[in-house]
Structure 1
Amino acid sequence: MEVNRDEAERCIDIATAALTNDQPDKAQRFLEKAQRLFPTEKAKVLLEVIAKNGFTPRQDFSGVSGPRQRQSNSEDARPEEKSSDTSKSYTADQLDAVRRIKQCKDFYEILGVQADAPEDELKRSYRKLALKFHPDKNHAPGATEAFKAIGNAYAVLSNASKRQQYDQYGEERRHPSKHSPDNGNFEPDISPEDLFNMFFGGGYPSSNANGRMRYQRREGRERQREGGFALFVQVMPILILVIVSALSQIMVNNPAYSLSYRPSAGYAQKRLTENLKVPYYVGEQFSREFTGLNLKNLERTVEEDYVSNLRNNCWKEKQQKEGMFYRARYFGDTDLYQRAQKARTPSCAKLSEITASLHG
């Protein structure tokens, strides 16, 4: 899917920046997430580099210019210069947002929701704020503390029993020690960072086993309380999908064309679109069924499908070629680098040709 591919590329960008900043663990997490979303040669190569070398980056990952030259022992022993977080810039809006969080009086105000806000509204608010205040995104002073406050607020309010207890204390609910000896009542079951990873990292976090187990037990109890109706609501989209798919199989005819020669399926007659001269294949009855405007509309669809396939294939060709460059660069393989330079990208060439003809 296009969305998964874009998100995978974003994860790779974050990973390469982490490698440049000597953060291989963070880079590995995002590369593994990228592979789950949309496997690419680039992410595969970088994971291999990290696994084999332990990897301490000495180059900028934003481009690929040539194979990496092997360095002497004295160069390898040279310590890396690390940029300080204090040098990272931030905007006035980010600083004002941090101050707003610090001035909040309760968890509801931190998340920007009403006291009767439902679970889905809490989730939406948390997602938005967590991305906005994450230390990797917001470098304003106090952003880390604000991020933790947001995570703690959601962790408590998303727990039905903790939220009920929290709501009992009115204006003083942020200070449980004033009215209850049990300070653990409002302790979240999961750390802010682990909560963030659970939402955006592709599953439950692994760094805090005890917190994860408590969170999973709580989730299990709440699911049991929801009863059969909630289960039906969860299963209903799957049932609808199955029914629609079955109806499609029964009611929808075979496509009128194929972009590939498939005589066994009835697509044996070759045609060319009038505009871009794109080849496509049809059955014996095609000429009787498609004439005039219907034919023009169908050929427009043929050309759109053809160009879409070219874009996908071009992207894959570039990924494969870039993967060769990565291997050549980080393993010092000159022969592989030369092969990468000579590697052809026919889909990209054809796509450029079509683009030029459309704008010509």
Structure 2
Amino acid sequence: MHRDRPGSSGGRQPRPGPALPAQGGEALPVPHGPRINKCKNYYEVLGVTKDAGDEDLKKAYRKLALKFHPDKNHAPGATDAFKKIGNAYAVLSNPEKRKQYDLTGNEDQACNHQNNGRFNFHRGCEADITPEDLFNIFFGGGFPSGSVHSFSNGRAGYSHHHQHRHSGHEREEERGDGGFSVFIQLMPIVVLILVSLLSQLMVSNPPYSLYPRSGSGQTIKMQTENLGVVYYVNKDFKNEYKGMLLQKVEKSVEEDYVTNIRNNCWKERQQKTDMQYAAKVYRDDRLRKKAEALSMDNCKELERLTSIYRGG
């Protein structure tokens, strides 16, 4: 939100005020604004020679812009000096405008230069950017920009409106960049999800189940030829799986069955061991008898399957 200081509108100079403290608590000396305003050319304004390069111009601008910014310097003439410093840098840092300016010889002639027969008082060598916007580009908006109204260059109203639109546009770009960054960060997660979904789609369900499943239609009971393991298939199984395909399916059935039996046997043994240990610790004869009475069906089945594998 812009702040208009008293006396800053209508092109009037702001009233003199005390110098603001600089960093470190020391008072900022009042710069000589009138000296800047009396300079006859832009080189004099920035205090550089006519053969000054870009780095010299930038260094001079940074130093003077910080000293004469209206929000930091309330001395008489500081606002006009700040405007003149900004225009000087904007013109001299632009090769085309600098060439035009050097041809005319001084500020007044350049700014009243006629272009193609049309009188162009305000835009002859005037900067294409306001001093306030130029300052924000260099220093990242270090001071509030409400003092833009104090520039009585015939474009104050336009500058104010343009500044709002410019800031809004920058915020939109920042939001856009932020959205893109979030998208980049989420990309690996999205890729993993897609790969997982594709893997699930590509891996088909086995054509059998060790238990009847009405949802998939696997309710028809069958038995493997080797170990006699019972499994369930759908109505189309017999037509689709014959010969070597059937043998391959039955081998998978038996492997799954043996794996389940082995896991369940381990659980039964663990349960029996835990009960026997507890009975010993608590001297509980009832718990000991209960542990000995466990049926251990899966372990018995595992022994049967092992004997078949061994040819017994």
Q: Structure 1-normalised TM-score?
A: 0.34
TM-score computed with the length of structure 2 as normaliser: 0.39
Q: Which has the higher helix share?
A: 1
Whose Rg is larger? 2
